[in-house]
Structure 1
Amino acid sequence: MARSRTFEWGDPQVSAAAVGRASGLEFLRDVLAGRLPAPPIAATLNFTLDEVESGRAVFTMEPGEEHYNPIGSVHGGVYATLLDSAAGCAVQSVLPAGMGYTSLDLNLKFLRPITVDTGKVRAVGTVLNQGRRTALAQAELFDTTDRLLAHATSSCMLFPVPAR
């Protein structure tokens, strides 16, 4: 039987235009509070930014069939997106006004499969090291019993954001 899912998202240009105007932490707090729209990928994959503080970001997602690969478990790309988001936003949370970042790489280890029976998963990103041009972050993906499902590290390039 066919299944469907409908979702909406806010204009991504609104958030993009706000990058660099305030600190990264203030930017993320505005997303968390709904003053800026969440990125469309969050609606597409049905995940949310739930917590943010300096050097740390937490995302959650309830896995659904729409996340499945052909073998009946959540696709690795979903894991990667959650972990990349958590690691990247942890880096963003330590940036001063006028700075931005982009992921240079993402190294990921899958430890356990995720299915709809897993329940809500939580991706916790933390900054390990911040330099002038790059930052290193890690992200861990947990189930509701705090079992580690996957682990990632990410290098991010830091750069000045042009005034808009």
Structure 2
Amino acid sequence: MSRSRTFSWDDPSVSAAAVGQESGLDFLNELLAGRLPAPPLAATLGFTLEEVEYGRAVFVLAPGEEHYNPIGSMHGGVYATLLDSAAGCAVQSTLPAGMGYTSIDLNVKFLRPSTVDTGKVRAVGTVLNSGRRLALAQAELFDSADRLLAHATSSCLLFPVPPQ
């Protein structure tokens, strides 16, 4: 039995041009409010930024069959994408105007599977330490009953963003 899914996205260059023009928290609040377009990957996978505050970011996703691996549960790459997004945006929320970041690494521990029956999952990212050039963040993925599904740590490189 065949299934299909259709989605659309907005021009990613709009958000990319806004990076570093204001604080990272202000940038993320613009995304959250819909005044800047979400990245195309969010539409592709169907996840959204739900909360953001200084040093913390939360993404949500309702697992669907389109997220499955061959053994019938959500693919580890989807877990990793959610965790990387939450950890990275937690770091971004702490950056002043003129600064950007990129992930250097992501270390993921998978603890429980999830399926369409799991319900909405939440990736909660928090900053553990931030310096002038590097930041360390963690992210945890929870199911709708607040059980831990996966945990990750991420190192991020901080760098100046030239003014537009």
Same fold (TM over 0.5): yes
Correspondence 1:16-31 to 2 at 5 A: 16-31=16-31
Task: State the 1:44 CA deviation.
Answer: 0.4
Q: Which amino acid aligns with 1:146?
A: D
* CA RMSD across the alignment: 0.4
Which runs of structure 1 show a deviation greater than 2 angstroms over 4 or more consecutive aligned residues?
Answer: none
Give, in whole Å, the separation in 1 of the partners of 2:51 and 2:163.
28
The match for 1:49 is 49
- Equivalences, count: 164
The match for 2:132 is 132
Task: State the 1:153 CA deviation.
Answer: 0.2
1:73 and 2:35 aligned: no
Correspondence 1:1-164 to 2 at 5 A: 1-164=1-164
Q: What are the superposed Cα offsets for residues 114-139 of structure 1, whole Å, 9 maximum, x if unpaired?
A: 11110100000000000000000000
SS class of match (1:20) = coil
Q: What are the superposed Cα offsets for residues 49-93 of structure 1, whole Å, 9 maximum, x if unpaired?
A: 000000000000000000001111100000000000000000000
Give, in whole Å, the separation in 2 of the partners of 1:145 and 1:73.
18
Consecutive unaligned residues in structure 2, runs of 5 or more: none
Q: Provide the TM-score with structure 2 as the length reference.
A: 0.99
